[in-house]
Amino acid sequence: MKNLIIITAITFALRGSSQAAVLTFAGNICAENAGGGGAFVACDDIDNNRINQGYGDTLFANVSYGRGSGGSINFTSPGVVIAEDDSDGIISIMPLGEATGIRLNSFSVVPYLGLNVEMVIQVRSGAGTLLWTTGPDEPLAIGPNAVTLTPNISSADGIQIRFFYSSFDAGLDNINFTEILPEAGIPEPSTFGMFGIAGTGLLLALRRRQS
């Protein structure tokens, strides 16, 4: 019965924990076609440079990539996503399953080849409500080094990161987000007692069947 109680407590604790993930855009994360579909393939800066729509998906979050001119957003080395031809880039992170929301913790903005550029970045809810922005009037000045931004914004219907204005000369990396899961507290002692009674009854039934 003691083992049964321990296992039950661990199960309830895991169910109530939130899961963190980081999109580093490293490895074979690109797609066979411009829409981001097909098998995962190695990325390069010429042919296979569209992020696969399956990259970053988890049990509790669906991640997708798009841009204003259509198709998935582009990969460029070293591990940065950009929106080609200065069109708007969009990264959407939507809750799945038991997840009750998504929290965007932080992300990096990386200038291409150390250029000094400007970019506007917005964080919106899955429904499109503006939650956070680098500034509606003045774009964020970036370069020659990368900068890390920490919105720490949560939304029950998911998160959209939209970046535009010089989005071909700067991109995003190390997108850190958390899947918010429902809290599931440890059962009361009386509940443990019921588990113990049920376990004892099951053991007695098995012994009778064996004899």
Give the model's pLDDT for residue 20.
87
Burial class (CB in 10 A: 0-12, 13-18, 19+), 145: exposed
- Max mean pLDDT among 6-15, 61-70, 74-83, 201-210 falls in 61-70
Name which of 57, 167, 51, 174 is nearest 104 in CA terms. Answer: 174
What Rg do the C-alpha atoms of the chain give, in angstroms?
23
Q: What is the average per-residue pLDDT within 94-101?
A: 96
The single residue listed with the structure tokens 């957003």 is 73
Name the residue with higher pLDDT: 167 or 145: 145
Burial class (CB in 10 A: 0-12, 13-18, 19+), 146: middle
pLDDT tens sequence across 139-153: 888 889 999 999 999
- Cα dist. 175→20, 32, 69, 202 in Å? 11, 23, 23, 48
Look up residue 128 and give its DSSP letter: -
pTM, full prediction: 0.77
192 with 23: CB under 8 angstroms? no
Torsion angle of alpha carbons 175, 97, 95, 152, nearest 10°?
Answer: -60
Percentage of residues of the chain with pLDDT beyond 70: 73
Above 60 in pLDDT, residue 3? no
138 with 73: CB under 8 angstroms? no
Q: What is the average per-residue pLDDT within 131-143?
A: 84
The encoded tokens of residue 39 equal: 């098998």
Q: Label residues 122-135 b or e (16+ Cβ within 10 Å = b).
A: bbbbbeeeeeeebe
Distance, in Å, from the CA atom of 31 to the CA atom of 46, rounded to the nearest integer, reads 13
